Amino acid sequence: MQPKTATPPPLDEMALVEQARHRDPAALRHIMEQNNRRLYRIARSVLGDDNEAEDVVQDTYMRAFTHLDGFRGEARLGTWLTRIALNEALGRLRTRRISVDLNQLDTINEQGASRVIYLPSTRQEGDPEAAAARAEVRRLIERAVDQLPDPFRIVFVLRDIEEMSIEATACQLGLRPETVKTRLHRARRLLRQNLDKTLSSALADTFPFAGARCARITQAVLARLDAQAID
């Protein structure tokens, strides 16, 4: 089964890209604010480090914004940025440690249910104890996700946290859809083994991309683009 052809971007997105080509600050900021969280989560899923993930996001935007002429509109802008971020993060991973033997990982034999723990999204806003409990839940989930083998962790983040389709995940990672399904199944199973009890937080809250971090990355990229223009 071949991955589905990527959906081309809408006309208004192409207009936004055209404005960004001319370094329009509002367009650049809009693109970053729309994609910051996804790119950060993906980079962190590869590298397992907050600061390095931020660096990857910044470098992704610098590479993208200085090569917007290479964006042909054959896919969504977010898809194009995701591919750049993945390549950047994987490149950093290769330089800092020995590559994992994927064939060996794919022979891992897991038994049991196929779904990870179901996490209800019920919240109690304004309750300090509930907020503290949610924060601890997020830390437990993040720790468990960080412990997944690299190929499983990346697939899990793209599918269950970013909610990308099987086909889109396969296309981004250069895998067959069947391989994505297998790795997702094993990732969920490993998480079940690493977590001791049913948790009451939503996956959408893991690796939160706080407003301060989003603003910091956006401002840093705009400053780097300004400095580049001066040079």
Residues 194 and 111 in one domain: yes
Q: Is the pLDDT of residue 59 over 80?
A: yes
Residues 80 and 111 in one domain: no
Percentage of residues of the chain with pLDDT beyond 90: 29
> Has residue 176 been placed in a domain?
yes
> Has residue 70 been placed in a domain?
yes
Q: Residue 207: what pLDDT?
A: 64
How many separate domains does the chain show? 2
CATH of the domain at 226: 1.10.1740.10
**What DSSP letter does each residue of 166-178 carry, written as one string?**
HHHHHHHHT--HH
Calpha distance 88→154 (Å, rounded):
14
Strand residues in 68-140 grouped as ranges (E) = none
pLDDT tier at 210, thresholds 50, 70, 90: low
Residue-number span of the structural domain to which 83 is assigned? 11-98+209-230
Q: Residue 96: what pLDDT?
A: 67
> Has residue 92 been placed in a domain?
yes
pLDDT tier at 84, thresholds 50, 70, 90: very high
Residues 111 and 80 in one domain: no
Residues 44 and 84 in one domain: yes
The answer to whether the predicted template modeling score (pTM) of the entire model surpasses 0.85 is: no
> Has residue 4 been placed in a domain?
no
Which of 19-33, 69-83, 103-117, 169-183 comes out lowest in average pLDDT?
103-117
> Distance between terminal CA atoms of the chain?
49
Percentage of residues of the chain with pLDDT beyond 70: 70
User: Once rounded to an integer, what is the mean pLDDT over residues 117-129?
Assistant: 47
Residues 156 and 91 in one domain: no
User: Once rounded to an integer, what is the mean pLDDT over residues 47-58?
Assistant: 91
Measured N-to-C along each axis, helices 77-96 and 25-47 cross at an angle, to the nearest 10 degrees, of: 40
Residue count of the chain, please give it. 231
37 against 10, higher pLDDT: 37
Cα angle at 22 between 219 and 216, to 5 degrees? 5
